[in-house]
């Protein structure tokens, strides 16, 4: 199972040719990876899983890990990547559904239908609620957008909570006078009434030159960086660029240091090494370019920390999201230092 997982997560080589069930791939790929790619294309194009023969030979062993009787799985909290979604559907031979909801909605707002083989969305609205998109002009999301309407996701109905306990102010911030709950998430409507989550309105802020930043979107991009276990992106209206605090993946950073011949006493010392910071920032830049981040969305300086963000140190919510105000206070010294270093570097550049 572990070997299969590592193999399927590799990048699919360019230049593949697909003709019905025939898949031509680079011979350097393993037999298993080629077969998985064949099954992935079959699932995507025909909506069916591999033959029962392969279930018996390969996938029943994987299904047995979960008892062998699982027919439907659901996922929430954060989106599944297309590769993971397709991989799970192939291996377990059942429906893998994505849903969307909040603590404040008691249950899901939307959920994929059983039998829906498409990916990249969170399904259609729960019959127990209404869902609408509200314009967010400061982020250029409107109901007039083409090809699909976009806006903040709002929900109303009996599943919506009545309010925060003894906190009328915060309650009024999320529930308007017409009883619509404003989720803070940005979505768009796909054909067939399916909802796709594309951005986050809450926690947005302005940089010094007026650009709006959605830090959680950027953090999700940088989460693909091999060095990063957790990431906190910061900016404000007094500075023109972003900085980040990164809780590193210890083994990945140590392996990199060994290849580079860098000596260190412990992980904390390695995190403070300028060469390590430069390597992580370079990898983040590469990931950002692949994700087509805009210029002002790129992090310009990074601080590496050995300790992860946890519930115990107050940096995570019970649902493992970064507590932004607490993280700002916790890393205030590091943030100040990064901006000072950027200012010094800018001042040292020769003027034309």
Return the CATH number at 129: 2.30.38.10
Distance between CA atoms of residues 338 and 344, nearest Å: 10
Given 200, 227, 248, the domain boundary residue is 200
> 8 and 62: one domain?
yes
> 232 and 143: one domain?
no
Report how many domains make up the chain: 3
> 181 and 147: one domain?
yes
> 211 and 337: one domain?
yes
pLDDT, position 70: 85
Given 93, 125, 150, the domain boundary residue is 93
pLDDT, position 78: 74
- How far is Cα of residue 97 from the mean position of the Cα atoms in its chain? 17
> 306 and 213: one domain?
yes
Q: Residue 243 belongs to a domain with what CATH number?
A: 3.30.300.30
pLDDT, position 242: 98
pLDDT, position 199: 83
Is residue 352 in some structural domain? no
Is residue 195 in some structural domain? yes
Characterize 49-86 residue by residue with b for buried, 16 or more Cβ atoms within 10 angstroms of its Cβ, and e for exposed.
bbeeeebeebbeebbeeeeeeeeeeebeeebbeeebbb
> 26 and 117: one domain?
no
> 210 and 306: one domain?
yes
pLDDT, position 46: 57
> 242 and 184: one domain?
no
- pTM of the entire structure? 0.62
334 phi/psi in degrees, rounded to 5: -65, -40
Instruction: Taking the CA atoms of 117, 118, 121 and 123 in sequence, report the sign of the dihedral they define.
Output: negative
Q: Quick check: 199 and 141 in contact, CB under 8 A? A: yes
Q: Tens digit of pLDDT per residue, the chain (352 long)?
A: 444 334 434 433 333 323 333 333 344 456 666 666 666 666 555 555 556 666 676 778 888 888 888 889 998 877 787 888 888 888 887 889 999 999 999 999 999 999 888 888 999 999 999 999 999 987 889 999 999 999 999 999 999 999 999 999 999 999 999 999 999 999 999 999 999 998 888 788 889 988 889 899 999 999 999 999 999 999 998 999 999 999 999 999 999 999 999 999 999 999 999 999 999 999 999 999 999 999 999 999 999 999 999 999 999 988 788 999 899 999 999 999 999 999 988 887 776 5
> 278 and 294: one domain?
yes
pLDDT, position 295: 95
Given 32, 67, 93, the domain boundary residue is 93
Is residue 82 in some structural domain? yes
Q: What is the residue range of 25's domain?
A: 2-93
Is residue 18 in some structural domain? yes
> 169 and 247: one domain?
no
Is residue 246 in some structural domain? yes
> 214 and 301: one domain?
yes
Closest CA to 152 of 112, 181, 191, 121: 181
């Amino acid at each position: 199972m572990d070997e299969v997982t590592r193999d399927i997560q590799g990048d699919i080589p360019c230049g593949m040719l697909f003709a019905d069930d025939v898949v031509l791939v680079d011979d350097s790929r393993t037999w298993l990876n080629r077969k998985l790619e064949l099954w992935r294309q079959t699932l995507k194009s025909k909506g069916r899983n591999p033959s029962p023969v392969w279930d018996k030979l390969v996938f029943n062993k994987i299904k047995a890990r979960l008892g062998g009787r699982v027919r439907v799985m659901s996922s929430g909290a954060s989106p599944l990547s297309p590769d993971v979604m397709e991989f799970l559907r192939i291996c377990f031979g059942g429906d893998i559904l994505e849903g969307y909801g909040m603590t404040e909605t008691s249950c899901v707002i939307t959920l994929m239908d059983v039998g829906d083989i498409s990916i990249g969305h969170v399904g259609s609205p729960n019959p127990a609620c209404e869902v609408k998109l509200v314009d967010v002009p400061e982020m250029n999301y409107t109901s007039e957008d083409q090809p699909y309407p976009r806006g903040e996701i709002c929900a109303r109905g009996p599943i919506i909570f009545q309010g925060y306990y003894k906190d009328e102010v915060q309650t009024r911030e999320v529930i308007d006078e017409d009883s619509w709950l404003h989720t803070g998430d940005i979505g768009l409507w796909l054909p067939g009434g399916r909802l796709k989550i594309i951005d986050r309105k809450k926690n947005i802020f302005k940089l010094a030159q007026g650009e709006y930043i959605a830090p959680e979107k950027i953090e999700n991009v940088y989460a693909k960086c091999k060095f990063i276990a957790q990431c906190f992106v910061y900016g404000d209206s007094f500075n023109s660029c972003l900085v980040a605090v990164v809780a590193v993946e210890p083994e990945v950073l140590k392996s990199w240091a060994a290849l580079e011949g860098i000596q260190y006493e412990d992980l904390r010392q390695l995190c403070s090494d300028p060469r390590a910071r430069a390597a992580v920032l370079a990898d983040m830049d590469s990931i950002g370019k692949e994700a087509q981040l805009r210029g002002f969305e790129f992090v310009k300086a990074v601080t590496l920390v050995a300790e992860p963000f946890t519930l115990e140190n107050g940096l995570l919510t019970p649902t493992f999201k970064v507590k932004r105000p607490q993280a700002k206070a916790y890393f205030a010294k590091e943030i100040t230092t990064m901006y000072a270093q950027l200012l010094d570097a800018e001042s040292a550049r020769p003027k034309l």
